Structure 1
Amino acid sequence: MVSVSPRLKDCLEDDELESVDPRFVLGFRSVSLGSSGYEEYETEDGSLQTVRPWSAGGSIANKKKRQLRQSNQRLERLDTFNYRTCADGDLFRLFELFPGTGTQPIEGRLDFEHSRSVERDYTCLSYCWETVERETDIICDGFRFPVTSNLLAALRCLRNKSHSLHIWIDQICINQDDLNERSHQVSIMQHIFSKAKDVIVWLGEEDDKSGKLCELARKMRRGDDSPKQSGTLKRILNPRQLQDAIQKLLQRPWFQRVWVVPEVALARFTIVQIGHDQISWDNFVRLIKDVPFPKTGGFDKQIALLGNPRQRIAIISQMSASQKEGLRHTDITTLLILAKGSKATEIRDFVFAFYGLTWLRTFPNYRISIELLYAEIIQLYVNSIRWDTSYSTLHGLTDEKRTQQLMSILYSAGALHQHHTLPSWIPDWTFSWHLAPVWCKTVANLATTSGKDEWSAGVRSDFRAGGNECGEFEIIEGLNGMHKLRVSAILLDVVLITSETTPASTPGGERDASMEPDSTLRYGRVFYRTGNGYIGIATPGVQAGDDIAVLLGGDVPVVLRECENHDAHTRAYKLLCETFLQDESVMHGEIARSGWTVAEEIVLI
């Protein structure tokens, strides 16, 4: 039997075969039995392999392999890129991403743009390095330029097949080895991101039903909760699948990176991209807004810790609304919550990342020591909040908000929560949140879309141990920039014993059953009993002889450890941590209201 093409005349009787069926024309490759008419390619072991046209699938795969090999060979022949200029003044670099498809090398060139008078439309890329190792390469200005694998994947998805794109990418547009240039570029980051036509958030390649999530987000309509609409959406992802997909999405590294906060907050318009799928930031927020996390049996970091993914998204969205309205409501409480809940390769970025979001104007310096940087920035904030009238006016600070921000500094600090050698009242940004907070809530107020600081009203705790009025709060000059802090405190009691389980009350001491801490607050903490019979929980490291104190204006009590002080008139202490007492009169301020006259000035060192 002869198999013939249905598109050719089926005739084998004509002597002029060539004129009837071109398959029989001499040289027609489909019937040549020799290999000389076929393409040959070199396999990995060096042998030659013939590409036969009837193996269509193999031919396509081999063609892609050959193209990839040729691309790699081209890259290997190129010299490594070196920055020949410095980005200074108001200048920054833009990467022009050339058109391309498939396995073609990512190729482009660098050019300068003016941060205050932008001439070209460009996009900023917000992504996660994931590693400092640059495992792969692109071509920049005709040279081989090492990049991380995650950036290469993003550029392949962003690249257009017909026209160039201008993109700002920190890994390419900043000479990361030049500390002076890095410092300067950070100082103008506000202009770079606010002048871009949009910011693309690259969450990574498609996985874990992320494509279905994007489809669902695009089909959601604001305010449409009709059964028909709900049924349509459920056919894309059922409720359990939706919960799991969102939880896995929020666990991606991008949500832990410190630089993503200003990158989105300063953007005119934000696009979330997963693989080749894109949705707007607003659609992304609506997608996760009302979907709860699946319940877990133990301590859930995605709900219990400050700076958890949902809270981060809520605060970033509010900060973005503030910037669009020309407001600067970003306060130290916000920055502490977000920064200590983030990760950064360069730990100075826990501070520098927020320079473009506040009115505090100091020049980033990557050569300064960590200890001095962290101490200086807190001193700057304390003095601005406490004494600078223009700062309070610009941030809309009432006396109550001013007190709340000052106290949030102390609750973010403590000698038991520090990696670096710092005064105990200075927060260490490298020490991330690891315990459920007592001093504030971890809720995500995703409903806030205005520029006002409405989210903070729902974040502050319900406790008012020290009342609403701040007492003394003054920085005292110290050696080498390591200053002390004078505060007003009611020294309440002394720790008698610590225990892994709830200790029994002392005779005559009353235990308030209504104030039992829940399992989330107890997680990771130890119990203690005081000389007067109070039962409390605190960070491990608290020991017998430590003092329990209420700071005037503070929301919750703190644990202090007395230190030697050369000033005989003032007692000096190390601040250890916040604490929770199982006593309503203490936690809700009755003790402070009745005993504020016995408050004394102490020094935290």
Structure 2
Amino acid sequence: METFTYEPLASPNLEIRILDLFPGSRNTISCHLRVARLSDSPQYEALSYCWGSPTPQRSIKVNGKALSIGPSLYHALKDLRRRRDSDSDSDSDDGTPRALWADAICINQKDYGEKSAQVALMATIYRGAARTVVWLGSANSLTSRAMLVLRAVRECSMFPRLSDHWSSWRDCQRRVRAVGGSYLRIGEEIKKERKDPLRRNWAWERAYDRLALWYFFRRPWFYRMWIIQEVALSRDLVVQSGDEVMEFDCLVYVWYRHASFGVIPYRAQSPMQERWTRDSTREEHEDDLLAVFSRHESAEVTDLRDKVYGILGMVRHKPEVINVDYSKDLESIFIDFTKRALQTRSRNLDVLSKSQGDGPSSIPGLPSWCLSWKFDENNETHSQTLVDSLGGFQRPGVPIRVLDNWSPDIEFPSDEPKVLGIVGQHLDTITVAGPVMRLGSWDGPRTSFACYLDWRRICGVDIDRVYRHTGEEPCRVLYFMLQNMSPGGDEGKWEQVVVPRHIVFDRFIMKMIGMLPFWRRASVELGLLLLTVWFVFTAARGILGNDSGSNKKYWILRSSVYAWGRAVFRTSRGYVGMGVPHTKVGDQIFFVRGASVPLILRPSGRDRWKLVGEAYVHGVMDRQLWDETVDKRIWVE
């Protein structure tokens, strides 16, 4: 069969191709590709799916010719086409074709000029679609079960405030099974179940439900970058897996009401969050570059260029942001993207808190101040920054913005495109840098406790009587960094409950360890055992209702979002603080005009500096220490 070749679009900025998918039931997929002008408001459905592996290639018939596509799209088209009893070898058909827009076919992927123009139209394409079909992959027993349970959870919303009383996943499962398990039959059966919504079912059935949901929300679609924009901009959405179809609102409802039960992995929540934001505000949710980047930096892409291009549809002032151009190299795209982000956020330099710093980069050759997309799944919370958490920190008694009243002063030398000029002043030099609090290793708890012992030493818990910059006990300083480096804390409970408990328990642990003449590993093992017992005890008290609040959050090595993937340091003037993983001895701490928090810089020679990352320095975060007479221009490369 002759191979299909694309005819160039006459106006790639004004036209799109639409795929007419003919009905069928055999393995042969037949379709027709036609050109339509967007100004004519063509009728079509947009397809949102995960490209997946490009091999093995599968062949379909397009305009009577052979076109090779990836297996994921091939199976999607098989599921989406309308059924008929028999196939003929011709493209003509006695049924109605289904009009679709699928990027892998409707865009000539080998023509960078056309691809750039069409990608720039993605927001318009998804807004203009009558409906967007989210294809999650081929169906199996687990996905079918999960979709059944999800529809049942949505049905539970008909019971007044029922889900408000679900205090745990087990309780949630019991109620979901009552209306969503083997008893659920669409139609009249739902009405029967309303008479007894709390009916118990077998434990193995509840376990199977949870397994099905676990599998469902780990489908690759939930983790891709492009789907965020597609979900946020579409008028109407349905989810399909095999022949199973349900409204996307079912996923949004489950995310909104039950995400805290651990049903949906954190990284899989972005599409539901974006859709809910749009529906709740009755308009498309548009942000600046940094806000969108921060929310979706962990999303996955095949082409790193799409880390930038995949979010442009949700950004205000798009003509001023960046032009889609797949012929540009990655280095130029990311440098230009970061410069635009710095320029559009004219009131602060919070972009620098998200920059890659002088550490491992996903793209060689990028300057240290450039935004990076290096993401470590084992240290997922490392992406949480002080700037991300400012809303939580800005509560009475815990101010965090150091330089609220100073606008940034940035400069980009025309002859050095990789150099950023900022204005700042030196605070102190790091003399001790502790180990990093790692998350996700096989011996994570043991390593974390060993790290905690080192952090105690750096903070002078057993040596210094007071932290001279604030007059506090050193143990309070350490626990503040561990506990309060996460948004939404309760300052009153921190002072009245958390600190006394941790001080008592820490002293007990250290006394027990001090009695042992064994080597350090034995001390770590004992401390870990005692810490685990303490956590189980306090968690049990909370579950049984014998203590106010959720005591689980008081476990110091579990409660801190900001501490994971970070390191404690000490400076030459006795300050202690917390920095990024690659903080080293000799790094310098600076206040920078326009930056909400202090920044760590590393000398690079020739009066140049490398950005290491942001820092928390205890005792300076709530003070206006800026001295305009000593500020200076700093060149960061």
Same fold (TM over 0.5): yes
Closer, same or farther: CA 290–555 of 1 in aligned 2, 3 Å: farther
Closer, same or farther: CA 435–598 of 1 in aligned 2, 3 Å: farther
> Is 1:314 aligned with 2:273?
yes
> Is 1:173 aligned with 2:214?
no
> Is 1:214 aligned with 2:147?
yes
Residue 355 of structure 1, aligned match among 312, 323, 326: 312
- Look up the match of 1:255: 222
Residue 75 of structure 2, aligned match among 128, 143, 153: 153
Residue 182 of structure 1, aligned match among 73, 97, 115: 115
- Look up the match of 1:603: 635
C-alpha separation in 2, matches of 1:279 and 1:458: 36
- Look up the match of 1:342: 299
User: 1:514-533 residue pairs with structure 2 within 5 A?
Assistant: 514-517=479-482, 518-519=556-557, 520-533=561-574
Closer, same or farther: CA 536–385 of 1 in aligned 2, 3 Å: closer
C-alpha separation in 1, matches of 2:36 and 2:47: 16
Aligned residues: 477
- Look up the match of 1:5: none
Verify the 8 A CA contact 2:459 2:478 in the aligned structure 1. no
Measured against aligned partners, the alpha-carbon deviations of 1:138-172 in whole angstroms (never above 9, x if no partner) come to 11111121111111121111111242100000111
- Look up the match of 1:41: none
C-alpha separation in 2, matches of 1:425 and 1:239: 49
Verify the 8 A CA contact 1:135 1:147 in the aligned structure 2. yes
Query: How many Å apart are 1:123 and its aligned residue?
Result: 0.5
Verify the 8 A CA contact 1:419 1:430 in the aligned structure 2. yes
Closer, same or farther: CA 458–171 of 1 in aligned 2, 3 Å: farther
Residue 485 of structure 1, aligned match among 395, 415, 421: 421
Worse-matched range after superposition: 470-479 or 107-116: 470-479
Verify the 8 A CA contact 1:415 1:424 in the aligned structure 2. yes
SS of alignment partner, residue 265 of structure 1: helix
Measured against aligned partners, the alpha-carbon deviations of 1:305-348 in whole angstroms (never above 9, x if no partner) come to xxx222453135425766x63x6632223322244211211111
Query: How many Å apart are 1:187 and its aligned residue?
Result: 1.8
C-alpha separation in 2, matches of 1:457 and 1:83: 51
User: 1:562-577 residue pairs with structure 2 within 5 A?
Assistant: 562-565=603-606, 572-577=608-613
> Is 1:122 aligned with 2:39?
no
Letter in 1 for 2:69: V
C-alpha separation in 2, matches of 1:255 and 1:459: 30
Measured against aligned partners, the alpha-carbon deviations of 1:109-158 in whole angstroms (never above 9, x if no partner) come to 10001123223x20010101112335212111111211111111211111
TM-score by length of 1: 0.70
SS of alignment partner, residue 318 of structure 2: coil
C-alpha separation in 1, matches of 2:597 and 2:271: 24
Verify the 8 A CA contact 1:439 1:555 in the aligned structure 2. no
Residue 112 of structure 1, aligned match among 35, 38, 43: 35
Letter in 1 for 2:371: P
Letter in 2 for 1:118: S
Query: How many Å apart are 1:271 and its aligned residue?
Result: 1.2
- Look up the match of 2:622: 590
Worse-matched range after superposition: 550-559 or 161-170: 550-559
Closer, same or farther: CA 160–239 of 1 in aligned 2, 3 Å: same
> Is 1:204 aligned with 2:137?
yes
Letter in 2 for 1:341: S
- Look up the match of 2:357: 414
Verify the 8 A CA contact 2:143 2:241 in the aligned structure 1. yes
C-alpha separation in 1, matches of 2:586 and 2:105: 55
- Look up the match of 2:494: none
User: 1:59-78 residue pairs with structure 2 within 5 A?
Assistant: 78=1
Closer, same or farther: CA 125–134 of 1 in aligned 2, 3 Å: farther
Residue 256 of structure 2, aligned match among 289, 300, 305: 289
SS of alignment partner, residue 574 of structure 1: strand
Measured against aligned partners, the alpha-carbon deviations of 1:539-568 in whole angstroms (never above 9, x if no partner) come to 3332110012344554443321123345xx
Measured against aligned partners, the alpha-carbon deviations of 1:216-271 in whole angstroms (never above 9, x if no partner) come to 33342474345999877323257655544333322221122111111111111111
Residue 583 of structure 2, aligned match among 542, 545, 548: 542
Query: How many Å apart are 1:81 and its aligned residue?
Result: 1.8
Verify the 8 A CA contact 2:231 2:274 in the aligned structure 1. no
- Look up the match of 2:408: 472
Bigger proportion of residues as helix: 2
- Look up the match of 1:453: none
Verify the 8 A CA contact 1:93 1:113 in the aligned structure 2. yes
C-alpha separation in 2, matches of 1:384 and 1:354: 15
- Look up the match of 1:424: 368
- Look up the match of 1:495: 431
Q: Larger relative CO (CA 8 A, sep 6+): 1 or 2?
A: 2
- Look up the match of 1:85: 8
Letter in 2 for 1:313: M
Verify the 8 A CA contact 1:92 1:173 in the aligned structure 2. yes
- Look up the match of 2:544: none
Letter in 1 for 2:301: A
- Look up the match of 1:139: 61
C-alpha separation in 2, matches of 1:208 and 1:524: 38
Verify the 8 A CA contact 1:243 1:292 in the aligned structure 2. no
Letter in 2 for 1:371: E
Letter in 1 for 2:358: A
Gaps of 5+ in 2: 84-94, 164-171, 182-204, 436-450, 468-473, 483-555
Closer, same or farther: CA 205–288 of 1 in aligned 2, 3 Å: farther
SS of alignment partner, residue 209 of structure 1: helix
C-alpha separation in 1, matches of 2:258 and 2:141: 17
User: 1:361-400 residue pairs with structure 2 within 5 A?
Assistant: 361=319, 362-386=322-346
Verify the 8 A CA contact 2:18 2:101 in the aligned structure 1. yes
Letter in 1 for 2:424: S
C-alpha separation in 2, matches of 1:321 and 1:289: 11
- Look up the match of 1:273: 240
Letter in 2 for 1:439: T
Query: How many Å apart are 1:597 and its aligned residue?
Result: 5.1
Verify the 8 A CA contact 1:438 1:579 in the aligned structure 2. no
C-alpha separation in 2, matches of 1:112 and 1:472: 49
C-alpha separation in 1, matches of 2:562 and 2:159: 36
Verify the 8 A CA contact 2:428 2:571 in the aligned structure 1. no
- Look up the match of 2:385: 439
TM-score by length of 2: 0.67
User: 1:234-245 residue pairs with structure 2 within 5 A?
Assistant: 234-235=177-178, 236-237=180-181, 241-245=208-212
- Look up the match of 1:332: 289
C-alpha separation in 2, matches of 1:372 and 1:207: 44
C-alpha separation in 2, matches of 1:245 and 1:489: 55
- Look up the match of 2:23: 99
C-alpha separation in 1, matches of 2:231 and 2:38: 18
Verify the 8 A CA contact 2:434 2:458 in the aligned structure 1. no
